Structure 1
Amino acid sequence: MSKAEHERHPLQTDAITKKRLHNGIEIYQNNEGETEFLYNEIFHKEMYFKHGITLPDHGTVLDVGANIGMFSLYVSSKSDCRVYAFEPLPPTFKLLKMNTSSLPRVTTVNVGLSNEIKEAEFAYFPTMSTDSVQIKYRENHDQDLRYGLINHYEDNFADRRMLNRFVDHLMSPKLLNEQIYRCKLTTISEMIHFYDLNQIDLLKIDVEKSEFEVLEGIEPEDWGKIRQIVMEVHGLDGEQISRLENIFQTNGFYAVIDYYEDLNIPNYYNVYALNQMHTSAG
């Protein structure tokens, strides 16, 4: 049995646990592996702050697809920015709210972002909450789940075959424990108007295959209010890359579309976009 299995089975999510991160911050979590993965990406690698993306001392940040709040915690530890954190899934939102309750400059919103105001069904995975996805994208999502589990737990296995056997075990329907939730969705422009936001210094998007819908929810008159965008994008082929480049170019952004080599997932990219109008003014 591996160390990960012996210490605490990663699928034991019936009780919320608390973990002290390497930087001293305490966080409520679903499971150890996912928390370590998020901490490494956000705090250690600082993956959202490349290719000119910066965090201002003062400003407004939108955390779209906030999950349990790791990015919001990072921003709050580095600056005095006002953060609006959006998470549609009730179990994950509960942890997000618990993790940011002591931060007066973080507003948590139990809603997802899309291209219109509506409701949609989501597949929620307690053991892989970061890979929860809208039902309409669920059909071909198992391979992404498998990649995610491998990335989360590979450091616990010296033998690749044992890692694959372990992931096969976790992928069984009983242990995956997939749950369906109907969630509310709105648009970025609606939130800009609701919270009366004149400028968004950083828009971070991580929404598991719904990225284009989030961008479509920005009205033409609101693009100029956004200084920087950083986002993870899944399943990009050549045509979709061109589409994404066109969206940013049309709205005055210079964008770098960067293949995320560390995760070794096909067609998985990080996008870093700067509003050229704000860059010129700065």
Structure 2
Amino acid sequence: MAVTGLRAQDRIDRLARLVHHPDPSQLFFQIAEIAGEQTYLRHGIEVGPGDLVLDVGANVGVAAVFFAELCRASVVHSFEPVEPVCRLLRENVSGIGACVVHEQGLSDAARRTEITYYPGACAMSGLYADPARDRELVRTVLLNHGLSPEQARESLAGRYAPSMRNCELRTLSSFLAEHSIDRVALLKIDVERAEVDVLTGIDDADWSKLQQVVVEVHDEDGRAGALSAQLRARGFDVAGEQEAAMRGTAVRMLYARRP
């Protein structure tokens, strides 16, 4: 269910006032996608008062603030394992009582490891980052948005210089147990090719606690089909789509909800 009572531009303007970044250009497409196009509220997905949301791959908090302030979710647990990015996340959600920040990533096992951080493109940071591949993906997105090849080249210049950081990972099930959570209204996953790891970290007994799941999938080697089948086997109705901006890339969205 879409956020009612606000036009798309009003939603964008409101979120833009609440979320900040030293390089505002890194926020433009995120805010337009999450607030304007409401990418997480499609195919019957709903978030509202009383709901608990797990925001896995929170980045600097655009989705967290959207869920807490525009959807009025009661609790939003945001997971961001990259320390410089998590610092910006904390700043953006400070003063929002519904938001709880965890400087951790969710994965298939508990461990400490290295993660790639792109200071010039923090939303693309991740465990499976590849600078050349990631740059090409975003170049395609920019062209789909109407930029010329030259404009895209200039926009991407220097943004994909990787910096390796240590980070902490844990499983989703260990988090649910630690916090005695027995119902999750929405599990949102945007973790740059680590989505299979996140879902692998859910114990069989915990799947029934999840009411809705939205996953950004990098559909390589049939991943979207495999994850769709897994979610259906867990009792979800599943829909998939590719946003127009992602045309020509492997990025898809999966929307799963209990019937």
Common fold by TM > 0.5 = yes
* Runs of 5+ unmatched residues, structure 2: 1-11
Q: Structure 1 residue aligned with 2:103, among 78, 101, 110?
A: 110
The count of residues paired between Structure 1 and Structure 2 equals 246
Kept after mapping to 1: 8 A contact 2:143/2:149: no
Q: 1:163 maps to which residue?
A: 151
Which SS does the other structure have where 1:25 is aligned?
helix
- 2:239 maps to 1:256: yes
Partner Cα separation in structure 2 for residue 161 and residue 243 of structure 1:
34
- 2:52 maps to 1:68: no
Q: Partner letter of residue 138 of structure 2?
A: G
Partner Cα separation in structure 2 for residue 249 and residue 148 of structure 1:
31
Q: Of the two, which has the highest radius of gyration?
A: 1
Kept after mapping to 2: 8 A contact 1:150/1:163: no
Q: 1:32 maps to which residue?
A: 24
| Percent of pairs with identical residues | 26
Which SS does the other structure have where 2:92 is aligned?
helix
4+ aligned runs moved over 6 Å, structure 1: 153-156
Q: Structure 2 residue aligned with 1:43, among 35, 41, 45?
A: 35
Q: Structure 2 residue aligned with 1:148, among 138, 148, 158?
A: 138
- 2:124 maps to 1:125: no
Q: 1:101 maps to which residue?
A: 94
Q: 1:14 maps to which residue?
A: none
Partner Cα separation in structure 1 for residue 122 and residue 226 of structure 2:
28
Distance 1:269 1:155, change over 3 A: closer
Which SS does the other structure have where 2:20 is aligned?
strand
Partner Cα separation in structure 2 for residue 57 and residue 118 of structure 1:
34
Distance 1:150 1:258, change over 3 A: closer
TM-score, structure 2 length as denominator?
Answer: 0.88
Shift of 1:161: 3.5
Distance 1:91 1:128, change over 3 A: same
Kept after mapping to 1: 8 A contact 2:144/2:244: no
- 2:175 maps to 1:182: no
Partner Cα separation in structure 1 for residue 84 and residue 55 of structure 2:
17
Which digits, 9 at most, give the CA deviation of each residue in 1:71-126, with x for residues without a partner?
01001112142110000000000000011110112110000010110122111101
Q: Partner letter of residue 13 of structure 2?
A: H
Shift of 1:154: 7.6
Kept after mapping to 2: 8 A contact 1:248/1:273: yes
